[in-house]
Structure 1
Amino acid sequence: MLYLAEVQKKGGVIRSTKVELKLLACQRGENNWSSVPDEVINAPDDCSNYNAGALVMVELTGSKQVQRHSEAGRQLVTILQNFSRMQDRSKSQEEEIEQWKESLTYQSQELNRRELELETRQEQIQEMEDDFAKLEQQRQEIEGLRESVEQQQQEYDRKSQELEGAWAHLQGEMNRLEERQGELSQMTALDDEKAQQMQELLDRLSGAIAPTETVREELNQSYGILNQQREGYDHQLQSLDQERGEAQQRQEALDGNVHHLQQRWQEYKAAQIALETAKTELAEQKQTLALKQDYINALSAQSKQQEELQKHFCHLAESSDQFTLGGVDISALDQMPLEELQQTVDNLTKDLEKMAKFVGIQEEELTAQQEEIETIKGQIGGASEYDRLRLESELADEQDRYRMLEETLVGQRRTVQERRDVLKQHQQVLSRRKGEHTENGQGQKVDLSPMLNRLDELKHEVSEQLKQTQAELQGLQDGVSQQQANVEQQASEQEVRWAELQELEQAMLVEKAAVGELWGRFNSVQEIAQQANGNLSTLQEKLDAIAVIMNQFQETSDYQLQAIAEMRQLITSLTQNQAPEFVS
């Protein structure tokens, strides 16, 4: 298990320093760390290189034994970077959640407002339906009144017929009375029997006249009810005009929102095309990056082959007397004093030993570096995601150090070989001059230095090309990273736009349904209002017709009553022995 620990050192001048590790935190998951209660464990001996107070990452067994340890600086930076990214992601998610909450709150408020509007509209429609029901009831009452008037009209016609019969009978009596005028002129008065009969006829005529006050009163009440209905209808027309204005405003707003939504969709499609273009360019850049990487690998392989060839020439010069890495002026050595030549050989030997020892140490360090690289590669295979990132970073650093050390050793190996070859030539001349050399002479040696110089030039050219290509690769990687970030940002913005457009389109559909329902209610109410207006007009016409009939009926009744009154005066004058006066 991986822990974060603090290095503590205890000790003084007399006793040796004791190194301990104070555990601070423990890794519970990939990005999950928890604090550890105060716990101190003994540190291995190789932890003495750490300074007191240094933070280290230690991997412990179940028995709290240290398996591996390393400085925690780079890992802490990685952890803090991951934590920062998680915080940014969490903050972004919280902002999205707040936006959704605000959107849901707004939608809830809008739905509540629409529910209140619908309830208000339903109440208004219910009131209008109640008014229409009352209007229908009043129409039925007026129909009943009209039927009653028609019955009274029939009764009036019947009584008029009776009155005409009585009038005809009275006219006949009057004619007979005129015929007997001469006889009546000699008489002082009508006899009681005739007067009684004429009074009975007049009473029958008076009773046959139908009363019109009740019908006129009911007709006036019907006019009052009709006027009230007219006022209610006018008020409903005003409310209907307001509803029409509101519906038109909402329709205009809806049309504007639909146009704006269409523009937003066009912008989204244009941005989507730009995103696809950016993705295509990113793919092309990645392909170019892969080609550059292949070229770098080829240059690296070529550089390694040149190094191997240099090593082979150096080994050839070292293992064979027929080859040399640099020429020595033999004639100058022959003329040099023997003591000076001996001193030169000794100096060259000491320098070669120092140089060879230094190169040997670096060779061992290079071997250890290679072993460390192989160890890290083996650890990467079974490591967790967090450890794998850390190990890959360490592997890159170790490989860079190995490459730099190897490049340094190439020149140093060649220098050692050149010095060894020069020493050998000095030793051969010294042995020959001392008479210790038993061979007849030394053959002509092949100088490999021009080839090595040419290899150095080629390697330098390859190295320059490699550096230039790596710089170009770095630029491409930066461009690809920037393009990748831009593409991801555009994709994220497109997702946000898509969600917003879907939300707007859904709200638009809801608004369309609401406006359509509002227009439907308006059309229904308008149709009912038009029908009610037609019914009111029909009732107005019927009441006007009834009023005309009542006026005619009233005039006829007044004329009949006047005639009856005159007949009564005539009978009275006849019964009082007065001369009868007939009314023309």
Structure 2
Amino acid sequence: MQYLAELQISKAAFGLGGNSSVRLLARNTGENIWQPITNEQVLPIQDAAQAKEFKDGQMVIAEITGSNQVQSIQDASKKIVNILQAFSRSQEKNKSAEEEVEQWKQSLNFQSQELHRREQELEQKELELEHLDARKQEIEELESKFGKERGEIEQLRKNIELERGQFEAKAAALTVDQAEHIKTLIGQLSTSFTNPDSLRTRIHSAIDLLNQRQEILTGFWQNLDRLKNEAEKQKGSLSKSTEDLNVRKTQWQHTQVALADAQAELKAQRGILKLQENNMAMSRVQLDDQIDLYQQTFNAIEEFGGPGSMDVLSPEEESRLQSMSIEELESTIKALQADFDRLANYVSAQEDELAGLEGEIADLQSQVETADQFDRIELESNKDFAEEQYKVLEDSVMGSRGAMQQRLSILNKQKAILDRRKGLAVDSNPVQSLLPLLSQIESQKNRQEQELRKMESQIEAVRNYTQQQQDVLAKQTQEHQQQEQSIRAAEAQQQDQIRVVAELLGQISAQEQLLRPVQDIVDTLRPQLEAAVQDLGVMSNGNSSSKILTDLQSVIQSLVSS
């Protein structure tokens, strides 16, 4: 099974040997699904070769067998980046889904409001339609009555023409009674005709009413055209803003991926820095051991007269000491011992001060690593000043140590001369056998000091680079957040535009659905009423039938009179 773990590498002194283990952090239970390990569990790596290409503290993917044996390990950086990218994409999908749901909610709310408004408008339009329907029914009744009477008039005209011919043929044979009967019939016929003037008046009244309704409808149509133009303008603006917003979102997503990569790189750089600091700490421990060994060897040599005890006195000086009286030689040795003790106390005080500066530098370095950008500048300046003081004091201590060593060698040599003159046995000086060992230890110590200084320089460069990367990443992250806020504001503005466009389209649709049936009724009634008016004009204002009847009565009267 796969585990996300932290690699732990411990090395033995002087870089020999060492153990490797993994601290389990999470267990892989599915694709991009990791379950945290609640209780800390550390498993050793049996095959040390598996960890030789990795660093201490590095995040790895470990394959663990059922018996808790580490089967293999591999770098987890790419895996972690992939998980973060998958998580980011999942968040974006959830966010898009939430935005879409919110848009649907707003759309449904607006549609509900628009439906309620349209219901009210429909109720008002239904009242107007009922009025128009009543007028339409009245006009249709008038048209039907007019058509029926026009047909009766046409049929009557035909009958009159037919009877007129027959009447002219039989007129000479008419009797007075027959003529009176015909006159009576003609009188009854004249009273049965309807005067079309009243019908024409009512039709003109209906046409005037239609014209008034058409003026109202024209105003509504003009307002509808204005709404359509405004809707097209808003749709164009919405399309452009949507395109710009999509471009900004794409750029923001690319920046987010780049920031994730930069964060992963910064984390890896910090891991390298931590490893280098651990190596430097181990090197310091080794150097301290080497210094202790050197100091112990040096102290042993000093006990036997110091490294210069073999040739510290010239033959003339040694001859002069041999010629002195024992009391004078003892006085000289006593004065030299007192001078050496004062110098030793001075050197000890300098070494204590040097140790204090070293602690102060370490404390300042710790503060620099945790301080913010502004405090770090002052702390680094204080640290540089303390390091300069440390270097000057260290050079002074080294010189004082050399002088003290020289005086100790002279003191030991004079003591050896005094002991021989007193007849005391003087052991052979083992300094000669210890000097090569001291030289070898000092060479190793110097080499380790050079390596440590080189390592410190490298770590300082890596630390500065890491800090620069962190500052750049912080600035980019802040700009990225500002871009996100700007996009959120643009999205809110876009939602307002969508709502405005939806309201306009809803108004346009509702008004068209209300206006179109009314306009169709008006367009249908107008030509019918105008045709009816033309038909009435053909009848010569409705007086030709009455004139025909009057002429017929005159003819009958003349026939009867003759």
C-alpha separation between the residues in 2 aligned to 1:178 and 1:530?
67
Q: Does 1:236 align with 2:230?
A: no
Equivalences for residues 309-388 of structure 1 within 5 A? 309-319=293-303, 327-329=311-313, 331-336=315-320, 338-339=323-324, 342=329, 345-362=333-350
Measure, in 1, the Cα distance between the counterparts of 2:280 and 2:549. 139
1-structure distance, mates of 2:441, 2:157: 152
**Distance of 1:528 and 1:396 partners within structure 2:** 84
Residues 411-422 of structure 1 correspond to what in structure 2 (within 5 A)? 412=400, 415-422=403-410
> 2:297 & 2:205 partners in 1: Cα distance?
134
Post-superposition shift, 1:511? 1.9
Equivalent residue number for residue 143 of structure 1: 137
Cα deviation for residue 355 of structure 1 reads: 1.0
Work out which of the residue numbers 481, 497, 502 in structure 1 matches 2:488: 502
Which secondary structure state, in structure 1, belongs to the residue aligned with residue 459 of structure 2?
helix
CA–CA distance in structure 2, aligned partners of residues 325 and 165 of structure 1: 172
**2:525 — aligned with what?**
539
The Cα shift of 1:357 comes to: 2.7
SS in 2 for 1:313: helix
Distance in 2 (CA, whole Å) between partners of 1:300 and 1:403 is 17
- Whether the 8 Å CA contact 1:264–1:501 is kept in 2: the answer is yes
- Code of the residue aligned with 1:249 in structure 2: it is K
Map 1:21-60; keep pairs closer than 5 Å.
none
Distance change (3 Å), C-alpha of 1:493 and 1:135: same
Are 1:325 and 1:421, in contact at CA under 8 Å, matched by a contact in 2? yes
Structure 1 match to 2:253: 269
The Cα shift of 1:318 comes to 4.2
2:148 is aligned with 1:154: yes
The alpha carbon displacement at 1:215 in A equals: 0.9
Moved more, 348-357 or 526-535: 526-535
Contact preservation (8 Å) 1:209, 1:557: no
Q: Which of 449, 456, 478 is the matching residue for 1:470?
A: 456
Task: Tell me which moved more, 402-411 or 342-351.
Answer: 402-411
The reply to whether residue 488 of structure 1 matches residue 474 of structure 2 is yes
Residue 527 of structure 2 is aligned to residue 562 of structure 1:
no
> 8 Å contact 2:172–2:559 — kept in the other structure?
no
User: Which of 445, 456, 481 is residue 459 of structure 1 equivalent to?
Assistant: 445
Q: Does 1:300 align with 2:288?
A: no
Distance (Å, rounded) in 2 between the aligned partners of 1:416 and 1:539: 131
Which residue of the partner structure matches residue 519 of structure 1? 505
Distance (Å, rounded) in 2 between the aligned partners of 1:321 and 1:127: 119
- Scaled by the length of structure 1, what TM-score is found? 0.62
Aligned residue type for 2:259: L
Q: Which residue of 1 aligns with 2:232?
A: 248
1:565 is displaced (CA, Å) by: 1.9
The structural deviation recorded for 1:143 is: 3.0
Separation (CA, whole Å) in 2 of partners of 1:556 and 1:249? 55
Counterpart CA distance in 1 for 2:495 and 2:514 is 28
* Aligned counterparts of 1:438 and 1:325: Cα–Cα separation in 2: 18
TM-score normalized by structure 2?
0.64
Q: Which residue of 2 aligns with 1:83?
A: none
Q: Which residue of 2 aligns with 1:107?
A: none
In structure 2, the partner of 1:581 is none
C-alpha distance in 2 between matches for 1:556 and 1:237: 38
Partner of 1:177: 171
Counterparts in 2 of 1:156 and 1:444: CA distance versus 1, 3 Å: closer
Alpha-carbon displacement from aligned partner over 1:407-443 (angstroms, at most 9, x marks no partner): 97677556535532321111221343xx31232x552
What is the Cα deviation at residue 306 of structure 1?
A: 2.2
Instruction: State the AA in 2 paired with 1:518.
Output: L
Task: Sort the Cα spacing of 1:360 and 1:327 in 2 relative to 1 into closer, same or farther, 3 A.
Answer: same
- Larger deviation: 473-482 or 246-255? 473-482
SS in 2 for 1:336: helix
Contact 1:149 1:215 in 2 (8 A): no
Contact 1:230 1:536 in 2 (8 A): yes
Deviation at 1:365, TM superposition (A): 6.3
Assess if the C-alpha contact under 8 Å between 1:254 and 1:512 holds in 2. Answer: yes
Where structure 1 has 5 or more consecutive residues not aligned to the other structure, the ranges are 1-110, 181-189, 578-584
Unpaired runs of 5+ in structure 2? 1-105
In the superposition, relative to structure 1, how do residues 468 and 242 fare at CA in structure 2: closer, same or farther (>3 Å)? same
Q: CA deviation at 1:199?
A: 2.7
- The secondary structure found in structure 2 opposite 1:437 is coil
Partner of 1:221: 205
- In the alignment of these two chains, the number of paired residues is 432
% same residue: 19
Contact 2:302–2:405 under 8 Å retained in 1: yes
Deviation track 1:435-474 (CA, whole Å, cap 9, x = no partner) reads: 31232x5524323455545544543443343333323322
User: Using the alignment, how far apart are the partners of 1:308 and 1:336 within structure 2?
Assistant: 38
Query: CA separation of 1:323/1:487 partners in 2, compared to 1, >3 Å: closer, same or farther?
Result: closer
Larger Rg: 1
Is the Cα–Cα contact under 8 Å of residues 431 and 437 in structure 1 kept in the other structure? Answer: yes
Q: Distance in 2 between matches of 1:156 and 1:568?
A: 23
Instruction: Show the counterpart of 2:266.
Output: 282
Alignment of 1:19-168 (within 5 A): 134=128, 137-158=131-152
Q: Return the letter of the residue paired with 2:191.
A: G
AA matched with 1:221: S
Distance 1:410 1:299 in 2: 22
Distance 1:566-1:200 versus aligned 2 partners, 3 A rule? same
Question: For the structure 1 residues 124 and 364, does the alpha-carbon distance in structure 2 shift closer, same or farther, using more than 3 Å as the test?
Answer: closer
| 1:550 is the counterpart of 2:550 | no
Query: 1:572 aligns to what?
Result: 557
- Kindly report which structure 2 residues correspond to 1:424-463, keeping only aligned pairs within 5 A, or say none: 424-432=412-420, 435-439=421-425, 442-447=427-432, 448-449=434-435, 451-463=437-449
Q: How far apart are the structure 2 equivalents of 1:422 and 1:161?
A: 167
SS in 2 for 1:150: helix
Q: Mean alpha-carbon deviation: is it higher for 332-341 or for 128-137?
A: 128-137
Q: CA deviation at 1:223?
A: 1.9
CA offset digits 1:524-580 (Å, max 9, x no partner):
43344443333222112321332344345x259544223212112223324544xxx
Hey, what's the Cα distance between the residues in 1 that align with 2:430 and 2:313? Answer: 13
Deviations 1:226-265 (A, max 9, x none): 2333333333333222222111111111110011011101
Q: 1:348 to 1:205 in 2, by over 3 A?
A: same
CA deviation after TM superposition for structure 1 residue 478, in Å: 1.9
